[in-house]
Structure 1
């Protein structure tokens, strides 16, 4: 499923979303259970429907969290955040680099369900009051060095600084609508069709009404603004 990163102008866009990135400020070498929390947040900064929440598909984007034990190739190994890069005291890149993996994965959903949620796709609701919703990726020591071929935890030194950032190609969605998963969308079924698409094979209104279906709005009418595209987030290794 391809997702879109909208570039609609102010006259046509339905909403403007701000995406933020934050991490743990430190990572302790002496703590075997230490982990780097990578927090990705999104909030509505402008909308054609003020006060309305927005729900969007997060499948294979920076918002999809793979919990430990889930298996599969997580979003870091798919290239959504790049590598962890060393920086000097002036925040310039050094030669230090920790690879988080980079794999091209061809996959298909093993479900014939028409409902995207029933088929296993994940969605996230952004509050309509302007506050942010945040997802947290947790990178423990094992995950940080899982695909790194040269460095290990023992090679790191207290005081070293590293940074991580977004790959903007993984910010966007292919399905969204106004509404709340725990509110007016609870119990609704999500159909993989855009409401502005009127081709001949569009599902008819009777089918949609009787099946309690929701169609997507045009993904290109969302504008995504990313605060960390050019200024990655830095953390420090401590004892």
Structure 2
């Protein structure tokens, strides 16, 4: 079987259905062991298609091979539906309509053909599901290239993402590329059923005084609807654990890159990421889960949602291990560097406003495309509203972020 970086021939060798209880375990998305991988294969009720050298859940395998499973459906915190199980060496796998994935080595998933475009690593997963799976939001948008997950790249340290001229794995093109994502014309080609939010990131002032620092200095994120299949309707989104969350510092959403002296760049979060306990969502109104932090974005052309992150000087330095107050001098310029992955991690949304259509409604974790008509009617009769899924979020991330200067 011939594999190249840009093209792979994948032949389905077997398809089976394992009719047993769905796998649901409190394990966050991370590289899983072969034993854990096998355990999932034995206990899932997903429809499995085996490709590459994978021949079934109990087959003997090479210890050096990468094993990855990618599926087209998420139910609450469980990954399933129709799943493809791949085993083999480094390759690009065509994987349209993927919703979640799991792997035994670190892999990358990309939003363009040939393993190009914007690529994220499995180990840096933003939304974690049961059993070690990673949720890949915005991948069920039909032919929308901006939203569609086309390929999974099985990481090889010597390979480049996107071919010889592509970016290396860790350099997100949206952060390092010359095109400001706010001006990206490719968004105009997104499918008509896709919700796209644009976020303009600014600071409350272009300067910050060292002798008389402004305690109200802050980051301002202005969120507006750029595209929507329901242009006249507001949309309510869960901001928890994204860059839109006021507590996003702890997840590394932002850092301050010193343009004039890189040695004085400031980390706004620790390198250790917090561990989140699993939250049971089945049959529960998601509005009652405090950390989800729902907000409503006004309809297209009808207003802007403004989210503010306080950033006084004291807070800037509170988690920075090397740069001290005395190291800061007038003339230093800082760029607010936003992590695109954490900004574009809105996985839950509902039509309507919290103070309007959704005020007396219960927010379900069930999605419209995952429920049959009778179930939808029963849920709606009981005052439940179905999750519309993830939205695409674009902002002036990375090197396109706002710049402010320290003054006397």
**1:48–1:135 CA distance, 2 compared to 1 (3 A):** same
After superposition, the C-alpha distances for 1:7-40 in whole angstroms (9 at most, x for unaligned) are: 6413353322211100131111112553531111
C-alpha distance after superposition, 1:76-108 (max 9, x if no partner): 231111x211113xxxx6332112123311112
TM-score, normalising length: structure 1: 0.82
Query: Counterpart in 1 of 2:287?
Result: 117
Match of 1:53 among 227, 234, 258: 234
Aligned to 1:69: none
Instruction: Identify the structure with the greater helix proportion.
Output: 2
Query: Out of 188, 191, 194, which is 1:11 matched to?
Result: 191
* CA distance in structure 2 between the aligned counterparts of 1:186 and 1:65, rounded to whole angstroms: 22
After the TM superposition, which residues 82-93 of structure 1 pair with which residues of structure 2 at under 5 Å, given as runs? Answer: 83-88=255-260
* RMSD of Structure 2 on Structure 1 (CA): 2.5
How far residue 125 of structure 1 moved from its aligned partner, in angstroms, is 0.8
Question: Any gaps of 5 or more consecutive residues in structure 2?
Answer: 1-76, 78-126, 128-134, 145-189
- Cα contact 1:52–1:128 (8 A) shared by 2: yes
1:31 aligns with 2:199: no
Alignment of 1:41-190 (within 5 A): 41-66=222-247, 75-81=248-254, 83-88=255-260, 94-101=262-269, 102-108=271-277, 114-120=284-290, 121-130=292-301, 131-171=303-343, 172-190=345-363
SS in structure 2 at match of 1:174: coil
Which moves more between the two structures, 56-65 or 226-235?
A: 226-235
**Higher RCO (C-alpha 8 Å, min separation 6):** 1
SS in 2 for 1:142: helix
Give TM-score, length-normalised by structure 2.
0.50
Q: How much does 1:203 deviate?
A: 9.3
Instruction: Quote the Cα distance in structure 2 between the aligned partners of 1:144 and 1:214.
Output: 40
Structure 2 counterpart SS, 1:34: coil
| 1:215 is the counterpart of 2:391 | no
Please state how far the C-alpha of 1:110 moved relative to its aligned partner.
6.5
Q: CA deviation at 1:109?
A: 5.9
Q: What is the alpha-carbon distance in structure 1 between the residues aligned to residue 331 and residue 399 of structure 2?
A: 23
Q: Deviations over 1:183-224 (max 9, x none)?
A: 11112111112111138xx993465134311111132xx332
* 3-state SS of paired residue (1:45): strand
Larger Rg: 2
Q: Deviations over 1:120-178 (max 9, x none)?
A: 12111111142221100002232111112222222211121111121011123121022
Contact 2:208 2:214 in 1 (8 A): no
For residue 251 of structure 2, give the secondary structure of its aligned residue in structure 1.
coil
Q: Write the distance in 2 (CA, Å) between the matches of 1:53 and 1:30.
A: 43
CA contact (8 A) 2:250 2:274 kept: no
What is the aligned residue count? Answer: 222
